[in-house]
Structure 1
Amino acid sequence: MDVDEARRTQLRNIEQSTGTPLADWFALIEGRRAEGLKRGQLVAWLKSEHGLTHGNANALALASAADGEVEPVDLVAAQYAGGKESLRPLYDRLVTLAASLGDDVEVSPKKTSVSLRRSKQFAVLTPATRTRIDVGLNLGDAPADGRLEQTTGMCSHRVRISSVDEVDDELARLLRAAYQRA
């Protein structure tokens, strides 16, 4: 399943689980957007007033009409341009793996990386070179072992990934551990 298909599936699941058609959600969101709310405020409103998970609220806010922010697809496309195009299937596989952890996973593209969040950030995907994506993980004081390196900064650990084959059971286990800590 690619990222776009995962987004469509998430939106269908929101519609089914809430019993509210997407068109109704979008109308509600656009009404609040007309009042001046930005995406982050819309997400908070959807969570507090409608009981949605962070991931579902974010998905609805992103899927509704643009609110002046750069669309995440554009940010991701920019990250995987200029010689890094061959890394895009690897990125897509990592996002699919992260999305499988729970319906509260938020994929939040930034200018140079993509944050994976739950109640807080648990991982960051960064196209570090033309041949590698660094998967930053928040694993607290877990010891470095094998491919798992300790780092400093926004994440406590990092795994360097150069091929889809390296998105294996070990990486899935590490990503799940970071997700469970968030």
Structure 2
Amino acid sequence: MDQAAQKMIDNLEKNTGKSLDQWVATVQKTDLKKHGEIVKFLKSEHSFTHGFANLVAHKALKSDAGSVSDTDELITKQYKGKEHFLPIYEKLREEIKAFGPDVEFAPKNSYVSVKRKKQFAILVPATKSRFEIGINLIGHPADGILEIDTKSNGMCSHRVQFGTDGGISEEMIKWLRQSYENAG
């Protein structure tokens, strides 16, 4: 487990008085099966921040990289029926890895979180016809295809969407690099 995840788990217990395992057990006593439902439950019923609610939801559903034995399984699951987007993911991964040795890719069930000291991007094969890149560029204005993100609950401030006919532009890489630099 990476240091950031362990620190968050330690802070969860320090801030709430309950361990991660206790919170997972609390969630499992409910009938909630979807990530968003669990996050909403923890935030509304237990006053969790989004980060802690997201952590517990992933652990309860075993939907994060730390809960599976093979993270490649998560990538395979994400791209099932969307295999045509795999070369885009692989190209983005290659470009982002070149930013520095501290880049970490953390696959989840439906996206890949890209982190440095903190998350700076997410890579999402959203549908069969749409790929999304979430980017943390707080304070940066919308700029052409770079939109303000109003749907990801604060996980990213901006997003770029493109279809099967689109590709990775130098501008996208520039935004990702800026987000990476801001995350250091």
* TM, length-normalised to structure 2: 0.60
Measured in 1, the distance between the counterparts of 2:94 and 2:175 equals 15
- Residue 89 of structure 1: CA displacement? 0.7
Measured in 2, the distance between the counterparts of 1:68 and 1:97 equals 27
Partner of 1:78, secondary structure, is helix
- Residue 40 of structure 1: CA displacement? 3.5
Contact 1:93 1:164 in 2 (8 A): no
Measured in 1, the distance between the counterparts of 2:125 and 2:100 equals 24
Partner of 2:69, secondary structure, is coil
- Superimposed CA distance per residue, residues 129-178 of structure 1 (whole angstroms, 9 cap, x where no aligned partner): 10221000000010001000001321000001335862121011000011
Which of residues 85, 92, 106 in structure 2 aligns to 1:87?
85
Contact 1:115 1:125 in 2 (8 A): yes
| Residue 97 (str. 1) matches residue 95 (str. 2) | yes
Contact 1:89 1:164 in 2 (8 A): no
Q: Alignment RMSD, CA only?
A: 2.4
2:104 corresponds to which letter in structure 1?
E
1:156 corresponds to which letter in structure 2?
S
Measured in 2, the distance between the counterparts of 1:103 and 1:162 equals 30
1:143 corresponds to which letter in structure 2?
P
User: CA 1:150–1:114 in 2, change beyond 3 Å: closer, same or farther?
Assistant: same
What residue ranges of structure 1 are gaps of 5+ in the alignment? 1-38, 45-66
Measured in 1, the distance between the counterparts of 2:162 and 2:93 equals 13
Specify the alignment match of 2:171 in structure 1.
Answer: 170
User: CA 1:70–1:112 in 2, change beyond 3 Å: closer, same or farther?
Assistant: farther
Counting only pairs closer than 5 Å after superposition, residues 117-132 of structure 1 correspond to structure 2 as 117-132=115-130
- Superimposed CA distance per residue, residues 40-91 of structure 1 (whole angstroms, 9 cap, x where no aligned partner): 36x97xxxxxxxxxxxxxxxxxxxxxx873321110011000x211111111
Contact 1:90 1:163 in 2 (8 A): no
Which of residues 116, 120, 127 in structure 1 aligns to 2:114?
116
Measured in 1, the distance between the counterparts of 2:67 and 2:125 equals 25
After the TM superposition, which segments of 4 or more aligned residues of structure 1 sit over 3 Å from their partners? none
- Superimposed CA distance per residue, residues 80-109 of structure 1 (whole angstroms, 9 cap, x where no aligned partner): 00x211111111111111111111000110
Measured in 1, the distance between the counterparts of 2:99 and 2:113 equals 15
Specify the alignment match of 1:40 in structure 2.
Answer: 2
Measured in 2, the distance between the counterparts of 1:165 and 1:128 equals 14
Contact 1:123 1:137 in 2 (8 A): yes
